[in-house]
């Protein structure tokens, strides 16, 4: 399988790895088929994502996708951030093999889940958006108990 230079760069040198302290939103999603898990934490100021971190227990493409998503949404409004879809991420990464496109769904869904968590926490449930793979979203409390020692990110 051939990966672009950008995918390799974000895989080998992922950006914004870790977990923010006292995040304003937490999103975690898992892919039922491959078992990969992605968790994102965000800080929000004046409706903009001012900081974002990720932890990914998953394949190389999922790690590259996570890293790219964090770069793409930093500084964006929440409404702008949730409009980013898997194709946008794949294009930004210089393309992904067809078999790995679902990995970018995981990235955009983890981000959407974190924004949804923020909207729920702040009494704006009407803004909550659908995930690409809705059934995979996990509650943030359940999420915090997850991600063990094998996590990459
Ligand atoms: Fe599961 Fe990539 S193979 S996210």
Given pLDDT bands bounded at 50, 70 and 90, which one contains residue 132?
Answer: confident
Higher-scoring residue by pLDDT: 140, 65:
65
pLDDT at 101: 85
Instruction: Provide the β-strand partners of residue 138.
Output: 28
Q: pLDDT confidence of 147, banded at 50, 70, 90?
A: very low
Strand partners for 38: 29, 56
Phi then psi for residue 28, to 5 deg, are -140, 130
Q: Is 103 in the pocket of ligand 1 (CB under 6 A)?
A: yes
Q: How remote is the CA of residue 123 from the centroid of ligand 1, in Å?
A: 33
| Distance between Cα 31 and ligand 1 center (Å) | 7
Count Cα atoms within 13 angstroms, Cβ side, for 8.
Answer: 5
The reply to whether 34 belongs to the active site is yes
Say how far apart CA 61 and CA 116 lie, in whole Å: 24
CB distance 111 to 124 below 8 Å? no
**In 3D, which of 118, 110, 115, 117 has the Cα closest to residue 89?**
110
**Ligand 1 contact via 38 beta carbon (within 6 Å):** no
Q: Which atom of ligand 1 is nearest to the CA of 100?
A: 2
Given the structure tokens 């932890």, which residue do they identify?
A: 55
103 belongs to the catalytic site: yes
pLDDT of res. 54? 98
CA distance 105 to 133: 8
pLDDT digits (tens, 9 = 90+) for 6-17: 999 999 999 999
Those residues whose C-beta lies under 8 Å from the C-beta of residue 29, and which sit 6 or more positions away, are 37, 38, 106, 109, 110, 113, 131, 133, 136, 137, 138
What digits encode the pLDDT tens for the residues 39-83? Answer: 999 999 999 999 999 999 999 999 999 999 999 999 999 999 999
Mutation pick for ligand 1 pocket among 3, 56, 103, 105 (CB with most ligand atoms within 8 Å):
103
- pLDDT value of position 136: 67
pLDDT of residue 143: 45
Residue nearest to atom 4 of ligand 1 (CA): 103
Query: Quick one: pLDDT at residue 131?
Result: 92
User: ipTM, 2 decimals?
Assistant: 0.95
Domains present along the chain, CATH in parentheses = 5-137 (3.90.1010.10)
Burial bucket for residue 48 (CB in 10 Å: 0-12, 13-18, 19+):
middle
**31 in contact with ligand 1, CB cutoff 6 A:** yes
CA angle at 24 for the pair 78 and 76, rounded to the nearest 5°: 25
């Amino acid at each position: 399988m051939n990966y672009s230079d950008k995918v390799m760069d974000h895989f080998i040198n992922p950006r914004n790895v870790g977990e923010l302290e006292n995040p304003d939103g937490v999103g975690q999603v898992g892919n039922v088929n491959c078992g990969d898990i992605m968790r994102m934490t965000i800080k929000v100021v004046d409706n903009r994502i001012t900081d974002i971190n990720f932890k990914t227990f998953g394949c190389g493409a999922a790690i590259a996708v996570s890293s790219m998503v964090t770069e793409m949404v930093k500084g964006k409004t929440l409404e702008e951030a949730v409009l980013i879809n898997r194709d946008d991420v794949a294009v930004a990464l210089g393309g992904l093999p067809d078999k790995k496109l679902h990995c970018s769904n995981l990235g955009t869904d983890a981000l959407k889940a974190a924004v949804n968590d923020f909207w729920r926490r702040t009494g704006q449930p009407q803004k909550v958006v659908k995930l690409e793979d809705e059934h995979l979203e996990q509650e943030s409390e359940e999420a915090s108990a997850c991600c063990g020692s094998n996590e990459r990110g």
